[in-house]
Copies of this chain bind each other. A is one copy, B any other.
Amino acid sequence: MRGFLSEEEYLAYLESVARLPEGFRVSTGEIGFWPRERRVEKPLAMRLALVLLDRPTRDFAGLFTRNRFPGVPVLIGRERLRSAGQVRGVLVNNKVSNVCAPGGLRDAEDVLGALGAELGAPGGEFFPASTGIIGWGLPVAEMRAALPALVGNLHGGSCADAARAIMTTDAYPKALSAVVGGGLLTGFAKGAGMIEPNLATMLVFLMTDLAVPRTVMQDCLARVCERTFNCISVDSDQSTSDTVLLFSSGARPAPGAGEFEAALEGVCAGLAQDIVRGGEGTAHVIRVRVSGASGFGAARDFGKAVINSPLVKSAVYGNDPNVGRIVSALGDFAGNSGLDFEASAVRIRLGSELIFRGGAFELDEAKEKKLSDYLRQAAMDPARKTYPPHRGCVEIDVDLGGGGAEAVVYGSDLSREYVTENADYRS
């Protein structure tokens, strides 16, 4: 159930799953800068990561946040996707998300132009990707100055260093790969709630050497994201910067479309669960499986109502089987969303225990004790550094007793550590 790793063991694991597909190289760097918007005691650190295709490709796909105040990287990314020209790679920075900052578009284009000049390619062939404080502007001069070394350090082999570089306060770096057909699909991700003051959240970069055509990739990515990244929630806030990008170098022949989609779903599902596991202050991962729903969307929304309830989340944090809160969260959502169910048909399990059936709870002292032990066993200690590659979670099964659709969603509990991180007292 536990199987947590030491840091050393985890990094060895990460190297093994972060293999770069043919035709890709990565590089990382770090700069110090003084923000314009706030007085700080010493320069802030920003990490850079570069993903570069050896040759430009037209086979790429992307999905972006639906937030109505998207960051400049999202605006530029959408434009690249629309124009469907050729692209060479992505330049990622943390610390400053470049969202609604005065002059933000000019800043991003300036940096990408300089990167292109280093590599002998137009700036328009690169995606920017930024997470960090919302409202601040990029430190353009410092970023430009770091580009020659960044390009000089490009390497193949593993993208474990890039997975580390894009982290903010993620608990650990996240990467995953799948061998499919004669090639490789590898992804790395960051995201842990909108942690650090104003930090914008999820970035996912997927690379493959399989020559999957552009149009197939985009449809496939959209379907897979619905079932993976759109089924998780750390703190229910969708950021201004959420981005998923998928690139193909085309170095190897494409497998069947179904085979590729299955591999993509495997990698994305694993990364999505890792994002929750590495979430800010996460002590328990909560998996809610909703079945008996009228459709996938309804099932997912009921599941999200459970994993987004602060009361369910804080009870799980405390290893307290307050199962009434699960029922209340489902009833609250049903009563206010128009997505209804037959209350007497609903059955709910926590772990292996049936707790609700026929409109009433089935609780007793012995069951209470079992459930409390179950929650305690599924806990990670957020204060202790452990590295869980796809391990245990608290399982809640809800059968709505209606249609045949189901969905599985993952969320985190609500801990004192989450509040502490996000309340970060400054001034």
Contacts and interface: CB of A to CB of B under 8 A. Distances in A.
A79 interface: no
B235 A318 contact: no
A284 to B, nearest CB: 11
A16 interface: no
A38 interface: yes
Contacts of A369: 427
**Which range contains the number of A residues in contact with the other chain?**
35 or more
A309 B361 contact: no
B372 A427 contact: yes
A350 to B, nearest CB: 12
Interface string A307-347: 00111001101111011110111111011100011010000
Contact of A423 (B101, B317, B336): B317
Interface string A185-198: 00000000110011
Interface stretch (A22-30, A388-396, A412-420): A412-420
Interface in A277-315: 309-311, 314-315
A336 B100 contact: no
A70 interface: yes
A419 B414 contact: yes
Nearest to A66: B335
Interface stretch (A45-53, A81-89, A237-245, A257-265): A237-245
B197 A135 contact: no
A131 B37 CA distance: 48
A314 B423 contact: yes
B69 A310 contact: no
A372 B427 CA distance: 6
A194 B376 CA distance: 23
A239 B332 CA distance: 7
B38 A238 contact: no
Contacts of A100: 324, 327, 356, 359-361
B331 A365 contact: no
Nearest to A370: B427
B200 A423 contact: no
Interface string A341-371: 1010000000000001001110111001100
Contacts of A424: 318, 320
A75 to B, nearest CB: 11
B315 A423 contact: yes
A224 interface: no
Contacts of A70: 331
Interface of A: 37-39, 65-70, 97, 99-102, 104, 133-136, 193-194, 197-198, 200, 235-240, 309-311, 314-315, 317-320, 322-325, 327-332, 334-336, 340-341, 343, 356, 359-361, 363-365, 368-369, 372-373, 376, 414-416, 418-420, 422-427
20 contacts: A38-B363, A69-B331, A102-B361, A134-B324, A135-B324, A135-B363, A197-B315, A198-B324, A198-B325, A198-B328, A237-B311, A237-B328, A238-B336, A239-B328, A240-B324, A310-B418, A317-B423, A318-B424, A376-B427, A416-B419
Given A100-B361, A368-B427, 9 more contacts: A38-B365, A67-B328, A100-B324, A198-B325, A238-B332, A315-B423, A317-B419, A372-B427, A376-B427
